[in-house]
Structure 1
Amino acid sequence: MGAITKYAVLVLLVLQTTCMVLTLRYTRTVVIDGPRYLSSTVVLLAEFVKLMSCLFIIYYQCKFDPRKFMNELKVGLLNKPLETIKTAVPSGIYSFQNNLLFIALNYLDAPTYQVTYQLKILMTALFSSLLLRKQLSRNQWFALVMLMTGVALVQYPAGSTAVENTSSIQDRMYGVGVLLVACASSGFAGVYFELLLKSSNISLWIRNLQMAMFGVIFSSITVLFTNLKEIQKDGFFQGYSIAVGTVLLLQAYGGILVACVVQYTDNIIKGFATSLSIIVSTIVSYLVFNDVQPTKLFLAGTMIVIAATFVYGLRSTKPSSTKLTEKDS
């Protein structure tokens, strides 16, 4: 892949990550007439779009030959049923995590969400050490300490501003708690999926297809058990708008885009994209939503997180570095 294409993928990932967070934040906070959309239905539809997209990509790889396409699905899905079932674990966790992210954004501003969510890197490192027995260098562990320090500074409340009411502080802490659970689930699911990728010769897109299949199943269960009454009352597509449709597409294609970045570039590119998206979301959130007033501590913490993300990503400069997981949101 040429340098121009790599930069194009980098820009796309920055835009996708930033737009996803800001658009999602907008749809959950904007004042509307009538009921707000159900996040569980968006997650379900996003998994379905992802499923259809993976089928199309596999069909394209088979040069639109129906017989070759059906044989590819048979070999990838039916001939190895145990391998297919294994993907139910990360798929179920990701479905759970996606719903947690929607909840967290109800209580956190976009930049705080974006920076705090970088703790998934720490969780991924810990689970990699436990499950994959990966050895991290001193620089990498130092980067993780930098990461935690930066996030702590970002979360530290500004003492010079007006005193926050108790409910506001409780909402913020609740949002952070939900996001920490999402970080842990993301780290475990990512490492487990990496283990699946390395333990077989099943293609990247077949694995994505398997994940999407179980994603549709688990998301459907979530919808039925959590929002059935609301759907019966106001309909499945209650509160949907162009902005919600945009969130749906960004959610669906975000994982596929990350898969391309992981497969064709490296961790450094991905780290740059994540860091740049933090900066962009902070600026846009301040200018558009005015839901955050950056303090010196916030800016310092953000810069530390950006630096930590870059330093931690330096591990991928080795040619033998392992592949990352395709899903990361």
Structure 2
Amino acid sequence: MATRCLRYGSLAFLVAQDTALVLLMRYSRSHATGEMYLASTAVCCMEVLKLCVCVGMLYAGEARGSISGLVNVFRREFLEKPSEVLRLAVPSFLYLLQNNLLYFALSNLRATPYKVTYNLKILTSALFSVTMLGQKLSKRKWLSLIALFVGVTVVQSDNHKSDSDAPHPETGLGYQTLGFLAVVAAAFTSGFCGVYQQKILQAGKTNMWVRNAQMGLTSVCLGVVSTIVKDRQAIQERGFFQGYTRLVWTVIIIQAVGGLNVAFILKYADNILKGFAAAFSTVASCVLEMAIMHFRPTATFLLGGALINVAAYCYNTPGRKDGNKLPR
């Protein structure tokens, strides 16, 4: 019972968090009144915040509120297990790349087309689950995934431009094709990383906060390096926190909390189920963007979006003869 509450509670929180994050991130990238903040520094700050939360949880839990106990935990789980830390460097790097791609995508696409396209991660998660975890998918599920792909194709064939789609004066961004390609690339990294992380979390008995701290440490190191390589000159000229506002910090905090919530889902539920929870937030994103940002979807867009959500429902609802049910 407790596990079920954790599973569906974390999924419900993911829907709310995912909807708020996309809309606020899009607003922060398209309605900046002053200097545009650097996406690489925002991703780096998000990883630092996640690591601090993980360390705090380890201090309160594994270390029992003792500094010496926390030092012992780090010695045991980091210094004495370098192979595990290096193994987690793979998803850490790809998640870092994914987060930068998503900032780029939301500089070029509206929130709802972005959300709809990003549902491709359901397809990539399923494909990697089959190849990496040995899961078997029924005909119903394969047909649902095909319908999902067709729905995304229909949505992307639609022309949903608006006056906010013009290139931003600071970044020069605003090109829908580049934004679409960035979302597709992020969907592939999301699918692979989610399944890879699920395999690690469900295979061993290591504390979830230890795993997240191991991944967080490598993510912070890689984030600092990538930020210096990508935006060193801009940081030297205008500072690391150039363009930061309360909205930017809100986006960073929501993204960090959402990343930690995903760990709960992968531990107690299923990576594909995580994808469908995110897919359901597409409807909420569309409604809120219509009300707040004057987004007006066309009939073609609504048709594609409806097909995607029907495909999500069919995939996540096993038929009578479908024995491939989600873990409980």
Distance in 2 between residues matched to 1:185 and 1:268, nearest whole Å: 14
2:286 corresponding residue in structure 1: 282
Matched, 1:177 2:181: yes
1:189 corresponding residue in structure 2: 193
Q: How far is 1:20 from its partner?
A: 0.5
Q: CA-to-partner distance for each residue in 1:92-138, whole Å, 9 max, x for gaps?
A: 11111110110011111101110110111111222222233322111
1:39 corresponding residue in structure 2: 39
Supply the AA of the counterpart residue of 1:177: L
Distance in 2 between residues matched to 1:301 and 1:261, nearest whole Å: 28
Matched, 1:105 2:106: yes
Overall identity of the aligned pairs, in %: 36
User: Residues 53 and 309 (structure 1 numbering): CA distance in 2 closer, same or farther, change over 3 Å?
Assistant: same
Distance in 2 between residues matched to 1:257 and 1:318, nearest whole Å: 28
Instruction: Please say which of residues 241-250 and 199-208 is displaced more in the overlay.
Output: 199-208
Matched, 1:299 2:302: yes
Q: How far is 1:78 from its partner?
A: 2.3
1:29 corresponding residue in structure 2: 30
2:311 corresponding residue in structure 1: 308
Matched, 1:50 2:50: yes
User: Residues 144 and 272 (structure 1 numbering): CA distance in 2 closer, same or farther, change over 3 Å?
Assistant: closer
Q: How far is 1:268 from its partner?
A: 8.4
What's the RMSD between the two structures over aligned residues? 2.9
Distance in 2 between residues matched to 1:70 and 1:148, nearest whole Å: 48
Supply the AA of the counterpart residue of 2:70: F
Check conservation: 2:124, 2:187, Cα contact below 8 A: yes
How many residues are aligned here? 315
2:238 corresponding residue in structure 1: 234
Partner SS for 1:87 = helix
2:90 corresponding residue in structure 1: 89
2:171 corresponding residue in structure 1: none
Check conservation: 1:268, 1:314, Cα contact below 8 A: no
Supply the AA of the counterpart residue of 2:312: T
Distance in 1 between residues matched to 2:212 and 2:123, nearest whole Å: 24
User: Residues 319 and 188 (structure 1 numbering): CA distance in 2 closer, same or farther, change over 3 Å?
Assistant: closer
Structure 1 length-normalised TM: 0.86
Q: CA-to-partner distance for each residue in 1:210-232, whole Å, 9 max, x for gaps?
A: 11111101111111011111111
Pairwise mapping of residues 1-329 of structure 1 onto structure 2 (< 5 A)? 1=1, 8-33=9-34, 35-62=35-62, 63-158=64-159, 171-265=175-269, 270=274, 273-290=277-294, 292-314=295-317, 321=326
Distance in 1 between residues matched to 2:246 and 2:87, nearest whole Å: 36
User: Residues 206 and 311 (structure 1 numbering): CA distance in 2 closer, same or farther, change over 3 Å?
Assistant: farther
Check conservation: 2:126, 2:272, Cα contact below 8 A: no
